[in-house]
Structure 1
Amino acid sequence: MTPRTTTSVDEETPRIGGIERLAHTDLAAEPLFLAARLASTGSAGANGVLAELGLKVRHYSVLALACSGEEPTQRELSQFLVLDPSQIVSIIDELEHRGAVERRTDPRDRRSKILAPTAAGRSLYGQARDLVTRSTEESLTGLSVAERDELFRLLRKAAL
């Protein structure tokens, strides 16, 4: 066997620790992975701050839509949030138990239920929205205001 005369890149270059060394992989060049990673890290940060209110991102999302003035149905919530209907029912049950929302019969279709916030729910949403806004600011500190605006524009265009 002939001795190896070249040095591999791994032997020449000191290894970078942590996830930074994965930033140059094929996966890190895939837009859907990057969007999912941003969503995951953003959700983790938001869950961390929402914990002081006893909420998670899913609760916040349902509460935000309930407070939107659009009177969403449970089916619309499920479709918009891309959650199984049983997950929506569970989240609404928890928010209803806390006195934050109530189910009402949909006047457009009496077989369907709409979700409406209570006064306590509106107050809780205001507190949660402030926390989520701050968490989002922290998650995006590396972007300028113009870059954030462009990111939001592109995300809305791609997601909606």
Structure 2
Amino acid sequence: MPRARAIPAADRLTSSPLGDDLSFLLARANAMSVAEVNAALAEHGLKVRAFAVLAIVADDVRPSQRELADFLRLDPSQIVVLVDDLERRGLVERLPDPDDRRAKVVVATPAGERLAADARAAARAADDRTYAALTPAAREHLTGLLRRIAIDDVG
């Protein structure tokens, strides 16, 4: 008697209740995206978290470490480690905050601005690979929805 073919694990797992769970799908999509972007950023000596810090400060918004921690949803101690590493590499510096003499703002150096631009291009190419199954309109729609959840509704 011929043996029945086994259902591939990916199909069995996809049909589980998690296959329709929004939080799981967001987490899985994020994990896939982060892995792809980390691979692309490796040639620049960065990972997603360090890139996020560098990209923000290279845009000349002059955030404090506390603001970075709040926006990126990281523990302040993690931001200290990231900024320390970027500073050691000559990519950022801490400067006095003109609005609060007790605080420091983080700014990119010229080398940090150049690396941020190169890394941003690599990250965009990785995103293009990750989201290739989406039409440009679907990708724009998804971006808008995620922005509403992750940024616009933050109070």
Answer whether TM exceeds 0.5 for this pair. Answer: yes
CA distance in 2, matches of 1:94, 1:126: 18
**Are 1:71 and 2:62 counterparts?**
yes
The residue aligned with 2:40 is 49
The residue aligned with 1:109 is 100
Once the 2 structures are TM-superposed, how far is the Cα of residue 113 of structure 1 from its aligned partner?
1.1
After superposition, residues 1-160 of structure 1 pair within 5 angstroms as 14-160=5-151
- Alignment TM-score, normalising by the size of structure 2: 0.92
- Alignment TM-score, normalising by the size of structure 1: 0.89
CA distance in 2, matches of 1:109, 1:18: 56
Task: Report the 3-state secondary structure (helix = DSSP H, G, I; strand = E; otherwise coil) of the residue aligned with 2:107.
Answer: strand
Pairwise CA RMSD of aligned residues?
Answer: 1.4
Q: Residues 60 and 108 of structure 2 are in contact (CA less than 8 Å); yes or no, is this contact kept in structure 1? A: no
Deviations 1:91-144 (A, max 9, x none): 001100111000011111111111000000000001100000000000001111
CA distance in 2, matches of 1:80, 1:97: 23
Give the % identical residues: 42
CA distance in 1, matches of 2:4, 2:30: 32
**Equivalenced residues, count:** 149
CA distance in 1, matches of 2:62, 2:9: 45
CA distance in 1, matches of 2:123, 2:12: 30
Task: Identify unmatched segments of 5+ residues in structure 2.
Answer: none
Once the 2 structures are TM-superposed, how far is the Cα of residue 70 of structure 1 from its aligned partner?
1.2
Task: Report the 3-state secondary structure (helix = DSSP H, G, I; strand = E; otherwise coil) of the residue aligned with 2:104.
Answer: strand
Task: Report the 3-state secondary structure (helix = DSSP H, G, I; strand = E; otherwise coil) of the residue aligned with 1:45.
Answer: helix
Whose radius of gyration is greater, 1 or 2? 1
